[in-house]
Structure 1
Amino acid sequence: MQLPPQHLLQGLVKHYLIIDQKTSVQQYYRMFSDGNPGIVFHLKDPFLQWDEENLIAQLQPQSFIYGQLTHHNTIIATGNLNMIVVVLEPYALFTHFRTAAYELNDHAIPLEDLFAQEARNLEEQILTALTTDAAIGIIENFLLKHMPSQRHLTADFTMAMKLIYQHQGIVSVEDLLKALPTTERQLERKFREHIGSSPKRFADTIKFQHFLKLLQKQPHKKKIAALIYESGYYDHAHLNRNFRKMTGFTPAHYKDTTHMLAINLMPLH
């Protein structure tokens, strides 16, 4: 379930994602980038994060902030899921948390490391909240408290983001540069610092998310091929390569998957 933020938090929060699912068995999930960082609050057992390099699973913090994902990863639920994900705007780490976004790529930082006792108090208040709306109200009060110290974005970066979203990611860096008073090097530097990604990679992620949304709306019996050109891919092979790179699976596998927790969080069967 998605819930919108109050108007004062627009520009920081995209939406809240509420995940509440009962399970009696250990369940593996595949998570991949949606182009946004976020903050997670576990209300029950945290996920185990699978470390592909060291082949071990580590327990996620009770609450944490995460940056851009540069590759898909596997997480494991060991019990009932109940969590609130604050999905942030792509540039929120830079503007509101005053952090170079690339420093948090593929990392989860416990909220306690950033806000000390204030984070511990926040966790306790959320865990004892009687309703989801009350918990979100507590989170919003926390975020509003830290709003005044935000950094501002430059006009050229703002325009680049606007163009990428307007074209659903189907826009080249060359086309962006034609419309902006900046050089490719300057644009690359700003995207890396503000978002943690290159302009091309970010546009590719937005294009991929656009395809997923079209795929979710498509009647199950219709062929995926009908969406290829509309989504900015050259052919089926181009789509398949991109899909495997982003998720580790084929589009058909994704379409046949049930019980999705989010558009970028799917169970592994």
Structure 2
Amino acid sequence: MQLPPSYELRSVVKHYLFVNTAYSDQSFYRFFSDGNPGIVFHLNTPLSQVNNLNLATQLQPKSFIYGQITHYNNIILNGDLSMLIVVLQPYGINSLLGLAASELNNTIVKLTDVFKQDAADLEDQLLSSSVLPKLISLIESFLLKQLTAVSRVDSYVKQAVDIIYQKRGMVQIQYLTKALLITERQLERKFKHDIGTSPKKFVDIIRFQFFLKSLQNSPSDKAINDIIYSYGFYDQAHLNKCFKINTGLTPLQYKAKFNPSVINFMQV
């Protein structure tokens, strides 16, 4: 379930996601980038995250903030899944914490390590309610309290992100620099500081996200072939390679497990 933020928080929060499933057995998930950092609140059993480099398993904190993701992650659940995700704007880490977003790439940080007692109090408050509107109200009150320390969003980055979404990721970097009257080097530096990734990488992520939505809505193989070319993929082999890099899955595997409310988090 996806819910919008209040007007006061729209500059930092993109939307809220409530994910709730009941499983008695161990289950496995795949999580990959959608171009947004976020804050996660586990309302039930925390997930275990598998490091794809050394295969070490780490239990996620009860609440944490995460940065940009440059590779997919494998997640293990032992029990029921119930979590509330604050999906931040692409530049949300820099805005909320006032630090270079790249410092949190592929990293999760306990919320209490960042916001200390305020975060600890919020965790306790969330335990007192199971009603979704109340949970979001508590989280919004917490975030609004942090707004006094929020950094102003760089106008170039904000405009560039808006254009990239308007173009569904089908935009060249040269188009952005001409539209914004900025050099490619300046845009690169601003993106890495405010978003955590390069403009080209961010464009590719957003294009892939829009492609995934179109893929699920395509009624036939012929329609799939049409959208492959419309999103700039040369052929099926090019698409398969992109899928493998981004998700570790094939297009057919993804289509079979697609979740319309959380397209970058799925059971595998």
* Superposition misfits of 4+ residues, deviation over 3 angstroms: 220-223, 258-261
Name which of structure 1's ranges 222-231 and 242-251 shifts more when overlaid on structure 2: 222-231
- Closer, same or farther: CA 74–33 of 1 in aligned 2, 3 Å: same
1:46 equivalent in structure 2? 46
Which residue number corresponds to residue 197 of structure 2? 197
Does structure 2 retain, via aligned residues, the 8 Å contact 1:9–1:144?
yes
- Matching residue's letter, 2:43: L
Taking structure 1 as the reference length, the TM-score comes to 0.95
CA distance in 2, matches of 1:164, 1:146: 28
CA offset at residue 187 of structure 1?
0.8
Please, which moves more after superposition, 94-103 or 171-180?
Answer: 171-180
Structure 2 unaligned runs (5+)? none
Moved more, 171-180 or 110-119: 171-180
Q: Which residue of 2 aligns with 1:216?
A: 216
Q: Quote how far apart the aligned CAs of 1:252 are.
A: 1.4
2:169 is matched with which residue?
169
TM-score (norm: length of structure 2): 0.95
1:220 CA drift (Å)? 6.2
Distance (whole Å) between structure 2 residues aligned to residue 4 and residue 158 of structure 1: 19
Where do residues 58-207 of structure 1 align in structure 2 (5 Å cutoff)?
A: 58-207=58-207
Give the whole-Å Cα distance in 2 for the aligned partners of 1:16 and 1:221.
33
SS at match of 1:249: coil
Q: Does structure 1 retain, via aligned residues, the 8 Å contact 2:28–2:75?
A: yes
**Paired position in structure 2 for 1:55:** 55
Shift of 1:222: 5.9
Q: Percent identity?
A: 49
Q: In the aligned structure 2, how far is the partner of 1:220 from the partner of 1:107? A: 39
Q: Distance in 1 between matches of 2:106 and 2:152?
A: 24
1:243 equivalent in structure 2: 243
1:244 and 1:191 mapped to 2: Cα distance? 25
What is the CA distance between 1:173 and its match in structure 2? 1.2
Cα 1:222/1:16, change in 2 over 3 Å: farther
Letter matched to residue 39 of structure 1 = I
Q: Report if aligned partners of 1:224, 1:252 keep a CA contact under 8 Å in 2.
A: no
- Cα deviation for residue 258 of structure 1 reads 5.7
Residues 1:6 and 1:235: Cα distance change in structure 2 (over 3 Å): same
Deviation of the 1:189 alpha carbon: 0.7
Deviation at 1:223, TM superposition (A): 4.7
Contact 1:260–1:267, Cα closer than 8 Å, also in 2: no
Hey, what's the Cα distance between the residues in 2 that align with 1:129 and 1:4?
20
In the alignment, the residues of structure 2 paired with residue 253 and residue 183 of structure 1 have an alpha-carbon distance, to the nearest angstrom, of 40
Residue ranges of structure 1 left out of the alignment (5+ in a row): none
For 1:32, the equivalent position in structure 2 comes to 32
The question of whether the paired residues in 1 share the 8 Å contact of 2:5 and 2:13 is answered with yes
Letter in 2 for 1:156: Y
CA shift at 1:214, angstroms?
0.9
Q: 1:96–1:150: 8 Å Cα contact kept in structure 2? A: yes
Provide the residue aligned with 1:228 in structure 2.
Answer: 228
Q: Distance in 1 between matches of 2:12 and 2:89?
A: 5
One-letter amino acid of the structure 2 residue matched with residue 227 of structure 1: I
Rounded to whole Å, the distance in 1 between the matches of 2:238 and 2:254 is: 16
How far did residue 260 of structure 1 move? Answer: 7.2
Report which stretch shifted further, 65-74 or 113-122.
113-122
- Pick closer, same or farther for the CA change 1:131–1:156 going to 2, 3 Å: same
Alignment coverage as a number of residue pairs: 268
The SS at the match of 2:41 is strand
- AA at the equivalent of 2:57: A
| Structure 1 counterpart SS, 2:97 | coil
